[in-house]
Structures are given as C-alpha cells and as structure tokens.
Amino acid sequence: MKKIAVAFLFCLTSTIANAQGTSEFRQVNKPVVCGPIETILKHLTGPDVREMPFWTGKDDSRIGEYMVLINPKDDTFTIIQFSDKIGCIVGMGNKNNFFKIQQNLQRL
C-alpha cells in the first residue's frame, strides 16, 4: 500500500504543480489509482489502514458516487469516486481538519 500511496502522491503533486500556472480554470489530466470497489474498501477498512466511511454523496450525473473515509486515531483520510464495480482514489492524506459547519453556513 505504501508504494501505491507514494506513486499516487507523486502523480498528484505533479498535476497540482502543472495546474498552478494560471488563475483561470482549466481541465487537467489527473492520474488516479482505480480498481474493484470491493477490494479498495476492504483494504481501506482493514487492519492496515483502519479507515471508516464518514461521508458519501452522488454527483449530478447520478453515475458516480463519492466517499470520504477517515481514521481519526491516525488522522488519515481517503476520498474515493466509485460506481457499482469500480472505484478510484482521488485523494488521500493525513492531518485532516473538521470545520464547524454552523460557522461556515453563516458565511453563505
């Protein structure tokens, strides 16, 4: 898992660095790690990573869904996008931070 995580973070870092050159929005190709959703969830919730599902949501197309998994003890998180059979890790890391929702709603 550590080798996959390092490879993913390397790809993510190079994509972010490439996207920072302009203030305009643009589409970039972002390499992601994908595989059977059952395998991904089994690994993330298993004894090595010990993350648990925290949030899920569907995108506007209703084709894809998203899930955030966290391990509050180790302070790690993973964001996955998935369909019925395939899932992709679109982000992972540590030092997560929970915002107070009420304060953020007042800003809107």
Q: Encode pLDDT of 27-72 as tens digits.
A: 889 899 999 999 999 999 999 999 999 999 998 877 789 999 999 8
83 near 64, Cβ under 8 Å? yes
Distance between CA atoms of residues 87 and 81, nearest Å: 6
pLDDT for the residue 58: 92
The listed range with the strongest mean pLDDT (16-20, 45-49, 99-103) is 45-49
3-state secondary structure of 26: coil
- The residue with greater pLDDT, 19 or 79, is 79
